[in-house]
Amino acid sequence: MTRRNTNYNKPFLLRPAAKDYLWGGNRLNDDFSKEIDLQPLAETWECSTHPDGISTVASGEMEGMLLTEVLQQHPEYLGTHPKTESELPILIKFIDAKKDLSVQVHPSDDYAREFEHGSLGKTEMWYVLDAAKDAKLVYGFNRDVESGVIRKSIQEGTVEKYLQKIKVKKNDVFYIEAGTVHAIGAGILVAEIQENSNLTYRMYDYDRVDKNGKKRELHVDKALKVANLKGSASPRQPMRVLKFHRGYATELLCRCEYFQVERMLLNTENYRKMADFSTGDNSFQILLCTEGCGVIYWKENGMIPFCKGDCIFVPANSEKLKLHGKAQLLKVEC
């Protein structure tokens, strides 16, 4: 007979790691109150155990500890489904593209395990938080292409004529499967949910130079080995079907073998109508606040206020929680 764990786990806020890539802007500080002393501020790794940028616990008894340290001490926080120890199978970011990102591609898990020292590949999802009027992103090729043609066009600086460019607006969702050539365009702000990997093959970078005056490294050979060279169909937006719960509604944005993402619309009018929320034994959940503010409560006066830009880790088998406020959140689980 399996004995159920009766020790319930408390949620906690996370503080992100940050990146100052040359294409970044200021919006993560200006709009999301990150208060991070980097210029530019391109990415914040909100929920990460990747060694290139580990999140830190920002509330509760474990405040100040690295998320990896917490999960080493409490592997039960991950739940029974994710088959990892002391690290997450996913990574969650905010990305502010003031300028175009490089044209790039990520390998599959199989390729990465064989050729990149056992690393994971990278399939990802973008949720568009905001976009300039004419903002576009790159999603695959606009026709079937050959490796040699693309290699030559990169050398000549003409590769953009082969890229499929998609207009973008707020609340759009894009699923970027490993092998899809892609790039976030200037003026786009996104939340990214991805596999726990930092493996990127940069195919083209507009001949830009970094702060030291050097061109950034390209990985053309590897990129062409893993890229899908078939013309890509224009990505379709998911069918938005609202499911109503007491105090909030949800809609499924993406479900794949690596993660599930729902948009949660929280709107409680008063304390008597707070929304019930908890996790089971199966998996942890992440709540990423993209608009508004609220409070998450549990027994014995436990509470976490949260606002736009905050990221909350809710361990598996959590306390019975109550949510109050008016906010939009992304709810991510494995």
Which active-site residues does the annotation give?
202
Helix or strand run (H / E) with residue 304? strand 302-307
What CA–CA distance (Å, rounded) separates 148 from 145?
A: 9
What CA–CA distance (Å, rounded) separates 83 from 217?
A: 34
Task: Give me the amino acid identity at 127.
Answer: Y
Task: Measure the CA angle with vertex 185, ends 89 and 265; round to 5°.
Answer: 55
3-class secondary structure, 204: strand
C-alpha distances (whole Å) from 22 to each of 36, 44, 189 are 16, 14, 15
At residue 258, φ and ψ (nearest 5 deg) are -100, -30
Helix or strand run (H / E) with residue 43? strand 43-47
The Cα diameter of the chain in Å comes to 67
Burial class (CB in 10 A: 0-12, 13-18, 19+), 116: middle
Residue with tokens 């040359």: 22
Do residues 209 and 136 lie in contact, with contact meaning Cβ atoms separated by under 8 Å? no
Q: Which residues contact 136 (CB under 8 A, 6 or more apart)?
A: 165, 166, 167, 168, 185
Burial class (CB in 10 A: 0-12, 13-18, 19+), 272: exposed
**H helices present in 214-334, as ranges:** 220-226
